[in-house]
Amino acid sequence: MDSGLSSDVIVVGGGVIGLTTAVVLAERGSRVRVWTRDPVERTTSAVAGALWWPYRIEPVTQAREWALRSLSVYAELAAYPELTGVRMVEGVLGEADLDGADAWAAARVPGLRASTAEEYAGTGLWARLPLIDMSTHLPWLRERFLKAGGTIETRTVSGFAEAGAPVVVNCTGLGARELVPDASVRPVRGQLVVVENPGIDTWLTSTDADGEMAYFFPQPGRLLLGGTAVEGGWSLEPDPAVAEAIVRRCAALRPEIAGARVLGHRVGLRPVRDAVRLEREPLPDGRVLVHNYGHGGAGITVAWGCAEEAAGLAAPSGT
């Protein structure tokens, strides 16, 4: 079926945003190549805790629309968790309530309700949300893209002029800071601790009065503990003192975490921007550059909604 898209598209960036966008384009009939500096296992997306919920992303209204579209896709993928890495898991969003800013989700999120005192000591919402094992999901996305006829090339790009396709899609995340260049893209550093799961099967996010975050996400064979949000932090080296503080905050919520054996540490840089850049830019030579970057801490949450919008912008009419 003719989708009206260009037959030749290069997607620059191989994280969850780039791969999901490439999948949508390829499945709509385009011949798509992904150019990526790193394999999916070494992208920022691979570090993510990957709970579906908009976090550190603007503009809020559009982000919620993209998130809800993505929720529909993840709900379908959750029927095959071992294949896709997507599971629907229950847990508590601390410091949230149905009468506040989270009312937008009430009609669409399954089982969303106020948490009980037994579930969480403070005000919170109990929800059943997609929790995504990125070590499974990213390779699955890659295989889905390849099966749709796409190709992946490992290469470092210094400028979009190198991409000689009629349509180029910029999904470079933090790399857009230098590549576009766009100095408004900045890192917000996140650190996680990976521990053996002491038997926890629900997730929890919490923020204390000082703004310190604590969260834990049960993934297959492990429990992810977080976290941090350090504005302008560039270091990818785990900080032992930060790791100890993360474990301490999580253990205050679930004491059994205190004795869990540490399996590893992760650090990722969220590509934050004052607003996601999702727009079509005509180039002087007649080609089209579609920007899809700046998703902050919510790339996984909005990936499918943004991918579908980016694919629409890649069409000749840009609609």
Q: What are phi and psi of 174, to 5 degrees?
A: -65, -25
Phi, psi of 5 (to 5 degrees): -85, 155
Q: Does 299 appear as a known binding residue? A: yes
275 is in an annotated binding site: no
Neighbours of 70 (CB within 10 A): 24
User: What are the phi and psi torsion angles at 59 (to 5°)?
Assistant: -75, 145
Q: Tell me whether residue 298 is annotated as binding.
A: yes
3-state helix, strand, coil in the chain (%, to 5): 35, 30, 35
Task: Per residue of the chain (319 residues), give pLDDT as tens.
Answer: 334 445 699 999 999 999 999 999 999 999 999 999 999 888 999 999 999 999 889 999 999 999 999 999 999 999 999 999 999 999 999 999 888 767 888 888 878 999 999 999 999 999 999 999 999 999 999 999 999 999 999 999 999 999 989 999 999 999 999 999 999 999 999 999 999 999 999 999 999 988 899 999 999 999 999 999 999 999 999 999 999 999 999 999 999 999 999 999 999 999 999 999 999 999 999 999 999 999 999 999 999 999 999 999 998 766 5
DSSP structural state of residue 101 = G
Ligand-binding annotation for 246, yes or no, is no
297 among annotated binding-site residues? yes
215 appears as a binding residue in the annotation: yes
**Amino acid 319: pLDDT:** 53
Answer yes or no: is 44 a known binding residue. Answer: yes
Does 120 appear as a known binding residue? no
**Per-residue pLDDT at 104:** 86
| Residue 156 annotated as lining a ligand binding site | no
Q: Any known ligand binding at 235?
A: no
pLDDT at 110: 77
Domains of the chain: 8-314 (3.40.50.720)
Task: Retrieve residue 230's tokens.
Answer: 């350090």
What pLDDT score does 106 carry? 84
Q: Which amino acid is at 149?
A: G
122 is in an annotated binding site: no
Alpha helices in 198-286, H assignment, sequence order: 240-253
